[in-house]
């Protein structure tokens, strides 16, 4: 081979290498651009999911009275305003409070319902939770349920819940709204969602620490056991609160008519955590009434439990009227269920029953968590995975609430 032909051959090879390098360079730039577009698209798609989880962490910290990490403060930084309202419902006028993000007066709407507590919508944990959810960019309505506030779990509260949801839906342009019920209000919210009258106004229901079948819960207060749909019964010593609520609600089953006013004052002060009022009410009792009061307060005695059993038998129909059991199979409204593993007021087996009864397409997520007890975040030494599951639960709820 001549030197000229050799040089020409080398030149051809070099040109081919340059061509391939240029082609490769162009392909690399295109690949980088495509990769960047994909990453940005994924980030845009994932950000709502990530944001809801960050907000859930912050909300749980706020509710637990814990400092929110500085990196998370921006996701719950919406300034809010509150407005006192009076809602006219089919059960009469009720108080309510609206929590609204200042910059988003037309934000998606959520109803949050208090449990059986004498402070009703003014209960500090409820205020903290509603404020935290509103600071995430939601409008939150907290109606007061007068009977629930006075420790009466009755079917008329179902209508009040439905009317409140319908009112908020109307304020939101006719769009259905989320409903979150705490304790017995959660079961009643499911009852409202199963009613064709209220169903169009309710986008989803979150039931936290709620009953499935009231008669089974009442039996638990006497026996310390609550049957599960599968496996052995849940065994957990019940809190006295549950039995005392049943006594207070149906006191005529436990005492002579002449003693009802005096004994109701004692039980009411005790349930309302009014130590001074309870002391005064006890001091006003006759010796016979004092003996009756002591008997009612001893919720573990065989005699009191026998009285509870007799009372339950008198109110079978009433308890069925506040039980989601039997109404869930045809429910089409999406449902989220949360229960504390160590709940000794409404045992977690109740959520297991609801989970087993709801259609798979209706049940969105169910969690029995060791992080919480009844409505407090005071579970026994939960692990990191347990905390993550609780965060994920609330992130799903936030995401559902934010969707139009």
Per-residue pLDDT at 291 = 97
71 contacts 58 by C-beta, under 8 angstroms: no
242-253 residue pLDDT tens: 999 999 999 999
For the chain, the residue count is 404
| The CATH number of domain 78-216+319-402 is 3.40.50.720 | no
Pick the closest to residue 189 from 112, 294, 89 (CA basis). 112
- Tell me whether residue 32 is exposed, middle or buried, using C-beta atoms within 10 angstroms of its C-beta: 0 to 12, 13 to 18, 19 or more: exposed
Half-sphere exposure for 363 (CA within 13 Å, toward CB):
17
The Cα 119–Cα 95 span in angstroms is: 12
List, as one string, the DSSP characters of 43-111.
HHHHHHHHHHHHHHHHHHHHHTT-PPPGGGGGGG---EEEEEEEEEETTEEEEEEEEEETT-TT--EEE
The model's pLDDT over 142-156, given as tens digits with 9 standing for 90+, comes to 999 999 999 999 999
Q: By mean pLDDT, which of 8-12, 119-123, 284-288 is the weakest? A: 8-12
Beta strands per DSSP E along 80-224: 80-89, 92-101, 109-113, 139-143, 177-182, 202-208
pLDDT tens-digit readout, 255-291: 999 999 999 999 999 999 999 999 999 999 999 999 9
Token look-up 């593993």 returns: 341
Query: What single-letter DSSP state applies at residue 251?
Result: G
Between 25 and 253, where is the model more confident? 253
User: Regarding predicted confidence, which is higher, 92 or 31?
Assistant: 92
Given this model, what pLDDT does residue 45 score? 58
- Between the alpha carbon of residue 41 and those of residues 44, 55, 295, the distances in Å are 5, 22, 67
Nearest Cα to Cα of residue 363 among 336, 384, 390, 402: 336
Higher per-residue pLDDT: 49 or 200: 200
Task: Dihedral sign for Cα 86, 89, 94, 99, please.
Answer: negative
């Amino acid at each position: 081979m001549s030197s000229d032909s050799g040089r020409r051959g080398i030149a051809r090879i070099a040109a081919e290498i340059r061509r391939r390098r240029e082609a490769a360079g162009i392909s690399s730039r295109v690949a980088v651009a495509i990769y960047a577009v994909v990453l940005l698209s994924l980030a845009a798609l994932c950000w709502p999911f990530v944001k809801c989880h960050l907000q859930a962490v912050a909300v749980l910290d706020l509710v637990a009275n814990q400092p929110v990490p500085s990196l998370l403060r921006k996701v719950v930084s919406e300034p809010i305003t509150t407005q006192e309202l009076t809602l006219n419902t089919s059960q009469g006028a009720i108080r309510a409070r609206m929590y609204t993000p200042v910059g988003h007066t037309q934000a998606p709407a959520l109803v949050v319902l208090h449990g059986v507590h004498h402070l009703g919508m003014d209960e500090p944990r409820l205020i903290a939770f509603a404020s935290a959810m509103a600071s995430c960019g939601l409008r939150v309505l907290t109606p007061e349920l007068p009977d629930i506030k006075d420790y009466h779990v009755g079917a008329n509260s179902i209508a009040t819940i439905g009317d409140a949801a319908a009112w908020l839906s109307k304020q939101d342009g006719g769009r259905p709204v989320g409903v979150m019920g705490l304790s017995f209000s959660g079961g009643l919210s499911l009852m409202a969602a199963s009613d064709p009258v209220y169903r169009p106004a309710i986008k989803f229901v979150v039931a936290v620490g709620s009953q499935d079948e009231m008669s089974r819960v009442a039996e638990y207060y006497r026996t310390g056991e609550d049957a599960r749909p599968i496996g052995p019964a849940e065994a957990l010593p019940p809190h006295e609160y549950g039995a005392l609520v049943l006594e207070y609600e149906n006191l005529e089953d436990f005492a002579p008519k002449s003693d009802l006013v005096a004994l109701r004052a004692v039980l009411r002060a005790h349930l309302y955590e009014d130590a001074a009022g309870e002391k005064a009410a006890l001091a006003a009792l006759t010796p016979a009434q004092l003996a009756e009061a002591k008997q009612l307060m001893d919720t573990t005695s065989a005699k009191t439990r026998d009285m509870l059993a007799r009372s339950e038998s008198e109110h079978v129909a009433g308890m069925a009227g506040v039980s989601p059991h039997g109404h869930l199979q045809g429910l089409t409204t999406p449902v989220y269920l949360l229960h504390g593993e160590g709940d000794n007021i409404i045992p977690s087996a109740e959520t297991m029953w609801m989970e087993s009864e709801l259609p798979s397409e209706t049940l969105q997520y169910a969690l029995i968590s060791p992080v919480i007890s009844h409505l407090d975040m005071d579970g026994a030494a939960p692990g990191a995975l347990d905390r993550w599951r609780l965060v994920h639960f609330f992130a799903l709820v936030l995401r559902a609430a934010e969707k139009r």
